[in-house]
Structure 1
Amino acid sequence: MNIRYLFLLLLLLFSCVSFSQNSDFPSAKVDSIVNSIQIPIFPSFTVDVVKLGAKGDSITDNKKVFDKAMALCKKNNGGTIIVPKGIYKINGPIHFVSNVNLRIEKGAKIKFSDNPKDYLPLVLTSWEGTILYNYSPLIYANTCNNIAITGEGTIDGEGGKIWKTFKVKEGAGKNLSREMNHTNAPIENRKFGEGYFLRPQMIQFLNCKNILVENIRIENSPFWCLHLLKSQSITIRGISYKSLNHNNDGIDPEYAKDVLIENVNFDNGDDNVAIKAGRDHEGRANTATPSENIVIRNCNFKGLHGVVIGSEMSAGVQNVFVENCKTAGYLKRGIYLKTNADRGGYIKNIFVRNIQLDQVEDCLYITANYHGEGKGYQSDISNVHFSNISCNKASESGIVIQGFTDKKIQNISLKNIEIKEAKNALSNENAENVLISDVFIGHKATVPTAVSKN
């Protein structure tokens, strides 16, 4: 063996060992992120909406009462708005101010109207990765600090009637928003609302910091349920869902930083958690604010997909940690990383461990060619680590990795994975440095059989 060959062999061995060591789940990093997140603290001022004149009879419009409660909190530099037992109809959005906790008590339900005109005037928001002006989200906070939605009550978005009809009519608005994204149209000119059919999010926090959403139930959203947009220091815990309309993603962190999602019971008509970071040209212009430092743990998944990254991720997604989660029902895909040649950006430093899946279509799926769309802006996907994952059945594929010949996916580790049944076991194309250890798809092989005797 010549010296040059020996040197190359040692270099390859060293790189593989280093990558293997770095693929261990970084618990210390997770602890650091969680410890950096601040739980909001509120002034002692409280206001009970019933004492202000609200009626929980499911009929009376309480919009003005909730607006007054929020104004009183603003006057007192913050406080807690108490929503007692009852069904409170609100014909229009709730707009937060800073230092406010909206506490929806057990047996209380806030039920929003489904008249689109109630959600005018337009507000600054985002729609599928493009910043624009649209109908107000049903609960909306813009540039607020220290805000919360807590309690054991329910928020009902009434999304299954009028809003649901918008889906088949959204094409013109969706296409225009994407054209404005690609041509860098001034944001002040991106005005939608009436005449278009872009549904509003149920809850959106925009440019906010120190957020808590805890123990509430979310039902029947018009569009995405909980959108964490350009916000940071966020805790989402103990909430539950029953929201099965079109595009009812559970939680969408977008350009979000320092996020903890834990002990959530999902039941959604779309992705449970979908991590995003802007779309196409606009996203690539915002690389200073990727989605990063996101911890997802101890959750029960049910819906379309469990945890998704993309496909709107053009500013980049990094440092995502998923652990100790399981399914409570069918998922189309368990963990799904998706991008295409329109997006650019990157997905890196993704760690997933201790996941129990029941029946899925595909168990683990990484693709750089989502829908086969686009050209010129291929994404970087690297340093993705899966360990201790079980799945009872994949009706299609166990594990899929799809890169491009000229932009390969790099550094993928698959360790201690058992998929008991799969139509297709493993599809791995255009990927470099894929390490597989203790991976079983189908029946585990035992000792080889002996030669039969004649």
Structure 2
Amino acid sequence: MKCKLLIFLLLSLNCLAQNTNFPSGTVDSIVKRIQLPQIPSFKIEVTRLGAKGDSISDAKPAFDKAMALCKKNNGGTIIVSKGVYTLNGPIHFVSNVKLLIEKGAKIRFSENPKHYLPMVLTSWEGTMIYNYSPLIYAYGCTNIAITGEGTIDGEGSKVWNSYKSKEGEDKKLSREMNHSNMPVKDRKFGPGHFLRPQLIQFFNCKNILVENVKIEDSPFWCLHLLKSESITVRGLKYKAFNANNDGIDPEYAKDVLIENIDFDNADDNIAIKAGRDDEGRANSATPSENIVIRNCNFKGLHGVVIGSEMSAGVKNVFIDNCKTSGFLKRGIYLKTNADRGGFIKNIYARNIQLDEVEDCIYITANYMGEGSGGFPSDVSDIFLSNISCTKARETAIIIQGYPQKKVRNVYLNTIEIKSAKNGLTILNSENVTMNDVIIGQKATVPTAASNLIKH
């Protein structure tokens, strides 16, 4: 009997070790099947079509002509050479097109909301609506790319930024439309409303590359990967400090590689989403999944976030070899509440170096204190290893589940937080396993008593 028990324990420990290891083979298979866009050989320079790059003249007609020529030739490359190109309106992609923004070139968008009409089908914080067009927009395209060492400037700091203080009623309205299952065709915002557009949105697209460009001054989220798959984002540099300037938002996205990014933005660096509330739960067949994040430099509000709009579910996220270059509010942040439903599972992070944060690791089922909907999320199978942090101004590690649906199967291995105001808060959780977790000064051997205690 003892022999059988010993064998069982050894097998159990072996399974645990295998399950908690970073699944490099899975990561390799995801990256291998992501396809880069195939772009035909046709090329056109926007300056040949009348774009002046003088920062004053409206270059949109030339960009529209270039896109039309690419469509006529079944695709091609639109070349933007050195200069500042003002566009009084959006760029709408067609399939098989690469927008090449050369070094020294800047695309600067108008801040006049009227230039982003007619409205297009889009999404705003997890709810499908019709709204102002994103400044760069692709719907239903295959093989599209934005490359080069130039800059995309959303000019979002004035008119668009003023919408932030006015958006409350429209946010509430969009959620009511979501909860009442109003037909999407009737969810119209745009003029008279105050929901800001994204800088770049790829919607229902496949085989996407965004590489090396600089992103500045977005009206809202910077790069929104919506219902799209087979995506490579690498080498980007951010200077985006307006309200809600998330860096990269994969939503209902599949097979995504994000690598070698220098973030410096005013909100989440990466926020993985999957729809909101009723609408998100109705799309549970298309969760966000198979997302690889590696070799990134974090700077901004939060490093990697999952949620809070994640009602269709998020699974298979792999974060590796990332570090901060300044203060973050939170490093790894999983957030949901009982209005969401859905799930977060199979989340792996390793080799993460954080400097100063408010909270280092934060997993919460109580985001914004919302939860009247009665839809608790299932949060499980979180594997965090080899994470270091210089200082947590508040709490080192927080795990907050639901009383009726606890956070399950969290493995913390080799975590060192050198200084923290508070150590651990773990509530409504089960099977939280910690190994080599150090908060504050590492304890060594106990000291010996120097004197006998006298009574």
Taking structure 2 as the reference length, the TM-score comes to 0.97
Tell whether the 8 Å contact from 1:19 to 1:411 is kept in structure 2 after alignment.
Answer: no
Deviations 1:111-132 (A, max 9, x none): 0000000000000000000001
Q: How does 1:251-290 map to 2 (within 5 A)?
A: 251-290=248-287
Query: Which of these residues, 330, 335, 345, is aligned with residue 332 of structure 2?
Result: 335
Q: Which runs of 5+ in 2 are unaligned?
A: none
Q: In the TM superposition, what whole-angstrom CA distance separates every residue of 1:77-121 from its partner, at most 9, and x where no partner exists?
A: 000000000000000000000000000000000000000000000
Which 10-residue stretch deviates more, 232-241 or 7-16? 7-16
Rounded to whole Å, the distance in 2 between the matches of 1:121 and 1:257 is 29
The answer as to whether partners of 1:390 and 1:418 remain within 8 angstroms in 2 is: yes
1:67 match = 64
Unaligned runs of 5+ in 1: none
Name the structure 1 match of 2:192.
195
1:431, distance to aligned residue in structure 2 (A) = 0.9
For the pair 1:182 / 2:179, whether they are aligned, the reply is yes
User: Match of 1:371, as an amino acid?
Assistant: M
Name the structure 1 match of 2:158.
161
Residues in 2 aligned to 1:104 and 1:303: alpha-carbon distance in whole angstroms? 25
Q: Which residue of structure 2 aligns with residue 105 of structure 1?
A: 102
Q: Are 1:52 and 2:46 matched, yes or no?
A: no
Query: Which residue of 2 is the match for residue 302 of structure 1?
Result: 299
CA deviation profile, 1:398-420 (whole Å, cap 9, x unmatched)? 00000112111110000011000
The superposition leaves residues 11-66 of structure 1 with CA deviations (integer Å, 9 ceiling, x where unpaired) of: 78865653342011000000000000000111110000011110111000011110
Q: Do the aligned partners of residues 78 and 404 (structure 1) sit closer, same or farther apart at CA in structure 2, a change above 3 Å counting?
A: same
* Equivalent residues in 2 for 1:312-323, closer than 5 Å: 312-323=309-320
Q: Quote the Cα distance in structure 1 between the aligned partners of 2:450 and 2:440.
A: 25
Q: Which residue of 2 aligns with 1:411?
A: 409
Residue 450 of structure 1 corresponds to 448
Query: Comparing 30-39 with 426-435, which one deviates more in the overlay?
Result: 426-435
Q: Shift of the alpha carbon at 1:451?
A: 1.1
Q: Deviations over 1:139-159 (max 9, x none)?
A: 000000000000000000000
Partners of 2:162 and 2:9 in 1: how far apart? Answer: 57
Q: Whole-Å Cα distance in 2 between the matches of residues 447 and 412 of structure 1?
A: 28
Q: Show the counterpart of 1:384.
A: 382
Matches within 5 A, 1:21-40: 21-40=18-37
Alignment correspondent of 2:75:
78
**TM-score with structure 1 length normalisation?**
0.97
Aligned to 1:401: 399
1:208 is aligned to 2:205: yes
Q: Which amino acid aligns with 2:402?
A: F
Separation in 1 of the partners of 2:5 and 2:233?
48
Aligned positions, number: 451
| Shift in CA distance, 7/213, structure 1 to aligned 2, threshold 3 Å | same
Q: Secondary structure at the match of 1:213?
A: strand
AA in 2 matched with 1:137: P
Q: Contact conserved, 1:213 with 1:235, CA < 8 A, in 2?
A: yes
Alignment correspondent of 1:122: 119
Say which SS state the counterpart of residue 188 (structure 1) adopts: helix
Instruction: Indicate which of 438, 441, 444 corresponds to 2:439.
Output: 441
Give the superposed CA RMSD: 1.6
Moved beyond 4 Å, runs of 4+: 5-17
The 1:144/1:152 distance shift into structure 2, 3 A limit, reads same
Aligned-partner residue type, residue 249 of structure 1: D
Report sequence identity in percent. Answer: 72
Deviation at 1:7, TM superposition (A): 9.4
Specify the SS of the correspondent of 1:271. coil
Q: Which amino acid aligns with 1:107?
A: G
Letter in 2 for 1:411: N
